[in-house]
Amino acid sequence: MTKNGKMNLVADNLDFDIDFEEKLKNDIKESLIDLELLKEDKEKIGDPDAMGKVILEEVWKQFGNQIGLDMTNETLIQQYDREHPESYEEVGQKVMQDERYKTANKEMKQKQKEGTLKDEYTGKDLKQSDKANLDHTVSRKEIYENKRRRQANISTEDLANKDENLNATNESLNKSKGAKSVEEMVETRAEREQALREQNERANKKIDESNMSETEKRLAKEKNDKRFQDKLDADDELMKKKDAQARKAINRDIVKGVVKETGKKAGKDALKAMAVQALFELLKEVMNALIRFFKSAARTFKGFLEEMKIAVSNFFKKITTFIRNGAMTGVGTIVSEIFGRVVSLFTKLASVIKQGFRSLGDAVAYLKAKENRNKSFSIRVAEVGKIIVAGLVATGAIFGGEVFEKWLIAAFPPLGTIMLPLLGSLANVIGLFLASMISGVVGAIVLNLIDKAIANQQKSDNVYAQVEKGNDILSKQNALLEIKQKKIERTKKEVFDSMNDRSKKAREIMSETAEDMSESLKKIDISKKEIDRLLQSLSEE
């Protein structure tokens, strides 16, 4: 059993070495193939068609990018202002002429006739002899100037004439309040009352100095005192309560409107950005295909179709890029509208924000891509740097386009009046092209320099990888030699062991044979003596 067990263990080790040897041979083959591929990759690194192609690519990209951003540049506030150029005076009149205000005013007067009308700011009953007014608690002017209202695309009259914002009060208090907010009235109450008191005293003094009769003076001063008292009767808590109710109703409509309009605009902007980028990319691929076709020696219809297939295939490979940029444009729109009150003050700020989010999306997509995870840190930093540079160049083109547009309109006024569908004025399009061309050239030069730095780093990484791969191959070859050496040594040992075993067996056989012969001889000696004794006995007889 021991001998058999030993032989089985040797056989198992031999099988293991054979398997490992085969694995090493296969690994060395694959490593040699990888090494050849690394050498081929090194030749491809930094092999540009050079600056001309880079510049053309960047100018084309910038122009398409600027067209897309320009089409989505206008904020909701800017759009509302463009579509509703009316002044406050015009809008204020529309509020007062609105049917909702007229209806509420009639109902107020009817209640006053019936003796059931209450002053909402003082808490007192308004008599038939009192002059009652229907006040906009949140003033028409404040609502008109509210940028969030414009962002929500709601008219001033719709908010000003909400039931919660229409409250009856006496005429004196209404006029005293004017366009001021309730908060402003409450905060300045002490100063305002002092000013009203001094005003009333001056008015009464003027009456005393007039030529009116004593009775007329008394009646006139009573009216003054009544108006003064009506203003003093304002109840801060009642006014704040009515103001809170009105603002809650108004803000509820504004919030709903802003969310709805922002969502719609974000979706539209995303689709516009995707459509423009896709269109320009498709045109670029088709143009490149046509250039390749006309450069080819054999210009056949079949060749033309093949080039078109390649163009379409290249286009569809970039669909995810279009979608990502569209999504980033939509996010940029939402952010722009969140800060709409500030963004709307600057013509191109929305485009800058959207470009920023596009660049951020490109950088994140690059870093998340599986094929980029194994690249060296320096290369990834350089590639992200390219994305940032492209974003900065695009930002420069945004403002450059506006400068060129203004210059063109000043120099050639008709260019500002010729409108192109979806794109704006001819001056705008030409300005965008000139800005894109300049920024494209500058961007291409900078990007080319970064590309060279990346190429140098890639070559360095490639050489290092070749050295590592070569060392790996040498290591595996040494391991293979060691296995072969061990196999030779084991074979020798097995031969010597086999010879020893056979020699031992031979000695054992010879020993056993000698013993058998000795026993046989002993038997022969015994028989001889017996024969001699028998012969002696016979002779004696």
Task: Evaluate if residue 481 carries a pLDDT over 70.
Answer: yes
**What would the mean pLDDT of 374-383 be, rounded to a whole number?**
77
Confidence of residue 258 (pLDDT cuts 50, 70, 90): very high
Does 502 or 44 have the greater pLDDT score? 502
Instruction: Tell me the mean pLDDT in the region 370-379.
Output: 78
User: Residue 230 and residue 455: Cα distance in Å, rounded?
Assistant: 83
Residue 237 clears pLDDT 90, i.e. is over it? yes
Q: How many CB atoms are closer than 10 A to CB 508?
A: 10
Predicted confidence at residue 14, as pLDDT, reads 47
CA-CA-CA-CA torsion sign (332, 253, 344, 433): positive
b (16+ CB within 10 A) / e for 509-541: eeeeeeeeeeeeeeeeeeeeeeeeeeeeeeeee
Give the residue-averaged pLDDT of 414-427.
75
pLDDT level of residue 4 (50, 70, 90 thresholds): very low
* Res 323 pLDDT > 90: no
Q: What is the pLDDT of residues 175-211, one digit of tens each?
A: 999 999 999 999 999 999 999 999 999 999 999 999 9
Structure tokens at 241: 């309560």
Q: How, if at all, do strands 132-136 and 419-420 pair?
A: unpaired
Q: Is the pLDDT of residue 40 over 60?
A: no
Higher pLDDT, 419 or 144: 144
Q: Among 264-268, 269-273, 459-463, which range has the highest average pLDDT? A: 264-268
Name the DSSP class of 418: -
Query: pLDDT digits over 426-437, tens only?
Result: 777 787 777 777
List b or e across 234-264, with b for residues whose CB sees 16 or more CB atoms inside 10 angstroms: beeebbeebbebbbebbeeebeebbeebbee
Indicate the pLDDT class of residue 371, thresholds 50, 70 and 90: confident
**DSSP-assigned beta bridge partners for residue 424:** 420
408: burial class by Cβ within 10 Å (0-12, 13-18, 19+)? Answer: buried
Please provide the DSSP assignment of 440-457 as one string.
Answer: HHHHHHHHHHHHHHHHHH
pLDDT number for residue 329: 85
Q: Rounded distance, CA 277 to CA 282, Å? A: 8
The yes-or-no verdict on residue 57 having pLDDT over 80 is no
What is the mean predicted confidence (pLDDT) over 94-112? 95
Give residues with Cβ within 8 angstroms of 201, minimum separation 6: none
Average pLDDT, stretch 24-51?
A: 60
Of the pLDDT bands very low, low, confident and very high (cuts 50, 70, 90), residue 56 is: low
Torsion 298-304-306-312 (CA) sign: positive
Please compute the mean of the pLDDT values over residues 248-271 and round it to a whole number. Answer: 94
- pLDDT for 521 beyond 60: no
Q: Is residue 119 within 8 Å of 168, Cβ to Cβ?
A: yes
Average pLDDT value for residue range 162-187: 93
Mean pLDDT in residue range 382-394: 77
pLDDT at 378: 76
Closest C-alpha among 261, 412, 421, 435 to residue 348:
435
Of residues 65, 58, 429, 423, the one with CA closest to residue 278: 65
pTM above 0.75, yes or no: no
178 Ramachandran zone, left/alpha/beta (phi>0; psi -120 to 50): left
The residue-averaged pLDDT of 6-19 equals 49
Q: Are 28 and 477 in contact (CB under 8 A)?
A: yes
Say if residues 351 and 391 touch (Cβ distance below 8 Å): no
Q: What tens digit of pLDDT does each residue of 71-84 get?
A: 788 889 989 998 99
326-352 pLDDT, tens digit each: 888 888 888 888 887 787 777 777 777
So what's the pLDDT on residue 259? 95
Q: Is the pLDDT of residue 92 over 90?
A: yes
| Among the ranges given (159-168, 207-216, 242-251), the one the predictor scored with the smallest mean pLDDT | 207-216
